[in-house]
Structure 1
């Protein structure tokens, strides 16, 4: 578990990437359920795992968390957040105060295979696009938030998320 300070400042997780990452999905900052579990998208109603599982055509929600991360990396998908730390009471992005940006530029420079950065939600897109402005050679994609607070059906979100498959090796097939 990532140790959290005693005040209302929240600290995010390290990136989940490797040298073969082609698609990087960026959220804003892990919510309380994720921080408590020390897992990306741990809230049981968050649609992230079903959404990315649909893109990859894999039942990720049925796997233990470490296996989910292994499957993402094997398929060229990385995870991180645009905010390294921030003050926040609760889990809503609207409650984020005094955000400290993650070193997105530094991470992206280290990923030679990267083809796209997808932003999971409006805050991630707004901050991430500002940080990554004028970055050539990498597509920037805004996605509807996987959060249950974003009250759109999972099937409607899945239609938007499907574009991510275009940036994976051979339409998302497993790297051998």
Structure 2
């Protein structure tokens, strides 16, 4: 087990409408200082297919894509003990503080990417949310990790379609690259 720190902050702005939360960045993502940088992770191909828009490998272009589509991106975990990139090995997790995003942006939906992100969100984040705060729906999406190789890319893209509705697009508008 290795103790890891997230290493970089959330990607969001005041116009963000949905918040996508992973568990913790992979070693490659921590090394690059940006989200989903393992070339075998299918997050970015899922987004390209969903929005019918080429995104490319550059973090600045990826960040611009997310801002343009009002998508905030972060992870549930600020630090934890983990073996490599194996979510199943996560222990001693410390959550990120979502308060700045939830107070400054109009987040209408939270999406968690994978079983561990969902479990840790429910366990570590939800209990700390203010009871008098807005009720924000949470939807579990499948993991885009190479560990979820049994799920085809087209099936992942279908599973991620609720993001389009949450930001106010129809599937056809997403396909046109809004």
TM superposition score category, shorter chain reference: 0.7 to 0.9
**CA shift at 1:106, angstroms?**
4.4
Q: Does residue 125 of structure 1 match 2:118?
A: yes
Give the counterpart of 2:28 among 29, 33, 36: 33
For 1:143, the equivalent position in structure 2 comes to: 141
Structure 2 unmatched ranges of 5 or more = none
1:129 touches 1:140 (CA, 8 Å); kept in 2? no
TM-score normalised by length of structure 1: 0.85
Aligned length: 166
2:79 touches 2:94 (CA, 8 Å); kept in 1? yes
SS at match of 1:132: helix
Give the counterpart of 1:84 among 71, 78, 81: 78
Q: Does residue 100 of structure 1 match 2:94?
A: yes
Residues in 2 aligned to 1:110 and 1:118: alpha-carbon distance in whole angstroms: 18
TM-score normalised by length of structure 2: 0.84
For 2:5, the equivalent position in structure 1 comes to: 11
**CA shift at 1:27, angstroms?**
0.2
Structure 1 residues 68-89: Cα deviation after superposition (integer angstroms, max 9, x where no partner): 1111111100100000011112
Residues in 1 aligned to 2:148 and 2:60: alpha-carbon distance in whole angstroms: 26
Between stretches 143-152 and 97-106, larger displacement belongs to 97-106
Taking only aligned residues, the RMSD between alpha carbons, in angstroms, comes to 2.0
Structure 1 unmatched ranges of 5 or more = 1-6
Residues in 2 aligned to 1:97 and 1:156: alpha-carbon distance in whole angstroms: 30
For 1:3, the equivalent position in structure 2 comes to: none
